[in-house]
Structure 1
Amino acid sequence: MVMVDWHEVRRRVRDLAASPLAAKVFGYHGHGFQLDPVLRPDELAELEQQIKVRLPDDYRDFLLHVGRGGAGPFYGVFPVERIDGRWQWVGDGADLTDLDRLDRPFPAEGLDPTVLEALRAEEPDEETFEDIESFDTAYEEWDRRYEAVVWNDARTVGALCLCHQGCALREWLVVSGPERGNIWTDHRVDDEDLSPHREGDLERTSFATWYLSWLKAAEAEVRS
C-alpha cells in the first residue's frame, strides 16, 4: 500500500487553488481546486453502516483528512453527501452507483468479447433499409438489446462511480471483491468495455496512486 501524508496532500491542493495559473489544468473549471469539508469519523461510520461495506483504507483517509469530494482527476472526485438521511455520491453519473449492492463482489471478468462482437455485428445499417422509419425502428430495438447487456446494472455492483472525464466517460472505485481498492475506467459510451485504470506500467491503480498521480501532474502543469 502507498503510504500517504493526507494532510500534506490537502495543503498541496490548497496551494494549487491559490495559484494564478491553476486554470491551465484540465478539469479546473469543474472543481476549481476546491475541496469539500472532510467527513467526521461518526459520519464515515454511518456511511459504511448504510452501504454495509468498509471503504478502501486510502479512500477512507482521503474522506477523513482531505475532503469528502472536490478537486481531483479530470472534473474532480464526486462528493459523498447525506441527503434525506441517506449517504450517497453526487455528480454526473454518480447515480449509476447501486448503493444497495456495494457489498457484492465486483464482476471483474468483464463481458465475453465474442458477445460484444456479435452484438456489434447485428447493428442495423441504414443503407439496407428502404426508408428511415424502418431503420429507426430496427435500430431502437437493437439498441435496447445492446444496452441491456453492456449497461446491465449487475456489471458494476461492488463499485462506486467516483469521477467523470466528460462525454459520459467515468471512473469507478471497486469496494468489494478481489478488485477491492482499484480504480476501473468506464468507456462503454465509446463502445469499449470496463477495464482497470492504468498508471504507467502498473496493471492496477489504487485510489491513492490515482489521486497522487493527478496531483503531481497538476503541479507540474502549473510550474510549466
Structure 2
Amino acid sequence: MDEPLTRGEVAELEAQIGVRLPEQYRDFLLHVGAGGAGPAYGLFPVRRVQDRWCWEGDGADLADLSRLAEPFPDRGPDPKLLDDLLSQRPEVEDFDDLEDFDDAIEAWDERWAAVMFAPERTAGAIAISHLGCAQREWLIISGSHRGTIWSDCRVDDVDLAPLLDDGRLVTFAHWYTDWLTNAERATSPSS
C-alpha cells in the first residue's frame, strides 16, 4: 500500500485537477493510502510525477485529468445509435474472404470506439482499478453521480454502468470495504 498523502499533497492534487475529491476517497488518501491493495488488481495509486499528479495503473491514463472538474455525464450515447452500430457489426459468415472480414471489423471497431470511448464519456471520472481483460472501474468525482463507482466493460461492447447493491449506487467506501471484508473472509481459517 502506498503511504497516505498529506493534507498539503491532497490540496495540491485538488488544485491541479480543479475539483475537490469525494470525501470518502479523500479520507482514504489521507488516512489509509494513496493506492495499492484493493479490488481486482488493486487501487490505482495517485503519485506526483515530474511535479504533476497522476494516477498510475493499467488504464489509469484513460482519464482526462484536464476534464475532471466537468460533470460526469448523466446519460451515455443515444441507445438507438448504439443499437444501430451493433446491428451493423460484421459477422464472419457474411464474408467469403477472411481478409475482407478483418477489414470490415476493423472499420466497425473504429466507429464503435469513436462513440464509446469519446473523451466526454468519462469527463469527471478517474479509472481506479483494473479488473483484467481491459475492464476497469471508475470513481466519479464530479456531477450528480459523484462518489460512486462505475463498471467499464466497453471493450466487450457493454456501456459504462454504475455498480449497484440492492438497487443502490455503490460508493467508494462501500466498494472498498466490501472488498476488504471478502478478502478477510477468504484468508481467515474456517471454524
Q: 1:196 touches 1:203 (CA, 8 Å); kept in 2?
A: no
For 1:42 and 1:101, the matched residues in 2 are separated by 22
Q: State the identity %.
A: 55
**Hey, what does 2:148 align to over in structure 1?**
182
For 1:63 and 1:128, the matched residues in 2 are separated by 52
Amino acid at match of 1:77: L
| Alignment equivalent of 1:217, drawn from 165, 171, 182 | 182
For 1:60 and 1:72, the matched residues in 2 are separated by 16
SS at match of 1:214: helix
**Hey, what does 2:26 align to over in structure 1?**
60
**Hey, what does 1:136 align to over in structure 2?**
102
> Do structure 1's residue 160 and structure 2's residue 126 form an aligned pair?
yes
> Do structure 1's residue 86 and structure 2's residue 52 form an aligned pair?
yes
Q: TM-score, normalised by structure 1?
A: 0.81
For 2:102 and 2:39, the matched residues in 1 are separated by 38
Aligned positions of 1:112-131 closer than 5 A: 112-131=78-97
> Do structure 1's residue 203 and structure 2's residue 168 form an aligned pair?
yes
Aligned-residue offset at 1:172: 0.3
SS at match of 1:67: coil
Q: Which runs of 4+ in 1 moved over 6 A?
A: none
**Hey, what does 2:6 align to over in structure 1?**
40
Q: 1:183 touches 1:196 (CA, 8 Å); kept in 2?
A: yes
For 1:118 and 1:125, the matched residues in 2 are separated by 15
SS at match of 1:107: coil
Aligned-residue offset at 1:133: 2.4
- Pairs aligned (count): 189
Over the aligned positions, Cα root-mean-square deviation in angstroms equals 1.1
Unaligned runs of 5+ in 2: none
For 1:203 and 1:112, the matched residues in 2 are separated by 24
For 1:180 and 1:158, the matched residues in 2 are separated by 8
For 2:167 and 2:13, the matched residues in 1 are separated by 31
Aligned-residue offset at 1:202: 4.0
For 2:94 and 2:162, the matched residues in 1 are separated by 38
Q: Which moved more, 1:167-176 or 1:127-136?
A: 127-136
For 1:180 and 1:106, the matched residues in 2 are separated by 8
Q: 1:183 touches 1:205 (CA, 8 Å); kept in 2?
A: yes
For 1:109 and 1:203, the matched residues in 2 are separated by 17
Aligned-residue offset at 1:219: 1.0
Aligned-residue offset at 1:90: 0.1
Amino acid at match of 1:50: Q
SS at match of 2:61: helix
Q: TM-score, normalised by structure 2?
A: 0.95
Instruction: Point out the structure with the larger strand share.
Output: 2
